[in-house]
Each structure stands twice: as structure tokens, then as C-alpha cells.
Structure 1
């Protein structure tokens, strides 16, 4: 299965896929509004604004799986992100990232790029997956890593031309 064919739901309830992002570098993040890492929204928005014209898209997937650190309604999440962080990158409906009911996108991401010591499980909110222009997962970053290693990887990824996705 290609990352581009996995069904996703936008934060306003529209069913879609990631096909519209084919050929772009994607930074896919499980986010939360009430987490010690919620401030990452500001850095994610900054990255998106600085690099979107070069082909980067940040995709936010709210997750309420870690100590219920996300609001219940998607509309409340969207309002929070817009009002507090000026988020303009695409946001999606809440998902589960671990367990038997994990969203297929996060099952795919974890299968492509294991975490620390080979663990597949996502340990916390604001885990970030970097996907190249061809749809391959090329990096996985813990919330503790912040954005510097991602920013360092971006120039080379943005300079690449897409190849056939798997």
C-alpha cells in the first residue's frame, strides 16, 4: 500500500487521501493541545511557512491516546490551533497511533521507520515522521529531539526530485 492511498479525514470531516501531497516532502506529526510539547506547534508552523514554497507540507494528526491530552471535538482542536499558534498547515481528524485500532497511516509510518531500540510504538505526542518526495519514510523524530534535526534534513530532501513511490 502506498502512503498516498491511505484514507484520512480532514479536521472538518472530509474523507480524502494524501494523494494531493504526492511529490512534496511531508512532515507527519501526532499532535495534542494539552501536552508539554504543545509549543511545538509554533515551530511546526514556522517550518511550514519557511519551506512550503519549496515543497514541504506539515500534516497534523491530533491524538488523544496519551493521558487524554487532546480536546474531544475536532472543531475545538482546530480553533485552539488557529487562535493560539496561527496554524495554517493541514490538520486532520483525531486518530489513534498505537494499538490494534491505530490509524492505517500510523501503522504504515511505524512499519517503515521504527523508533528507539527498534520499537514500533509511538511513545508520546509530537512524534514526527519525515517523508520524502517519493513517499518513503526517511526519518522518525521523538518529541524530545525538537525540530533542529528535521530542519537540518530538509534542504537535501527538498532539493530531490520525486521517484516512483512504493
Structure 2
């Protein structure tokens, strides 16, 4: 069975990230851009991530410069900007192409398995969202105008229907201060 787990992509720091590390997680993949009018969605995306990350949910941001030249920053600057302006703590990848002959294979896969506006396969703008279930299968595609907070019900439904079987651990390690009490 094919799934997103067959793909790898470079993180903002050029380190290769195998999506197979996310087996068992419900995932929201979003093509992003720092200068896009929809960039305020990063705050709402972070809020979703914080609300559901302990239940097996994650978000993957894939910056893209294809639409309106809205991502002029380099990869490290993108990560810094997302953290400074929107407090983003979910994974940020290196810039990718989502359409055309140089499109990242992950986005070719996502487009091949769903249609967007007017039943078109191409990604039409920044902040197109793809919801992936815990088996790595595409569940749904959402338009850029779809506000992240409106996805709560479908995220919860996918979390309830998926067993927590992931061995993925975020690279952002946070100390558990409660566990340290009395130690």
C-alpha cells in the first residue's frame, strides 16, 4: 500500500527527514509562505498543534515560493521568522516546489490522490492543507482559505479512529519538569 511514508524531505537545516518516522500519527501537511496574506494561519496552526500533539497529531510546514513570490527568505531565516513571529514549534522543512516539473515527489503524490478547487489537481496557492491519517493515507484536502481551527472535528475523528502506534519523537525536546520534582 502506498503512503506518504515512502517519502523523505529536507528540513530547514538541510537534514533529511523520513516521513516514515511519523507512522501512527495524524498529520496536517501545509505549503506555507512568510509573506503570504494567509501567513497569520501559522498562529492557528500552532494552536492546533499544541492542542493535539500529545494525542498523536503533528503538522508539517513546507515553505513554497511559487505563489506570488511570497517566500523570499532562505530556509534558516524562514524557521527563525516562523518562530519569532508565530511561535511555531512544529516541523518546518526546506523550501519546495509544489507544482511543475520540479515539484517535490510528496506533493506530486498528494495531488495525484486528491483534487482541489474546480476539481483541479494543481495546488493553487499557499496554505493548501492535506490531512493524512495514521496509516499515511490522504484523508482530505483543504483550500487556503480554510481556517485551521475549522479542522478540529475532522482531526479529532481521525485521532479517535487511529491507534497511537508511533515511535516518532520530536526533535524539539522539552524537559518534563513534573518528572523532575522530588528527584
- Which TM-score band (shorter chain)? over 0.9
Q: Secondary structure at the match of 2:28?
A: strand
Residue range with higher mean Cα deviation, 49-58 or 68-77: 68-77
Q: Say if 2:95 is the partner of 1:94.
A: yes
1:35 alignment partner in structure 2: 36
- Which whole-Å CA distance do the structure 1 matches of 2:3 and 2:154 have between them? 23
Structure 1 segments (4+ residues) deviating >6 Å: none
Unaligned runs of 5+ in 1: none
Deviation per residue, 1:142-162 (Å, 9 max, x gap)? 111212441120111001125
Count of residue correspondences: 162
- TM-score under structure 2 length normalisation: 0.85
Gaps of 5+ in 2: 164-183
Larger-gyration structure (1/2): 2
TM-score (norm 1): 0.94
* Displacement of 1:2: 2.9
Equivalent residues in 2 for 1:99-138, closer than 5 Å: 99-138=100-139
Shift of 1:41: 0.3
The CA RMSD measured in Å over matched residues stands at: 1.1
Q: Which moved more, 1:7-16 or 1:45-54?
A: 7-16
Measure the CA separation in 2 of the matches of 1:141 and 1:96. 18
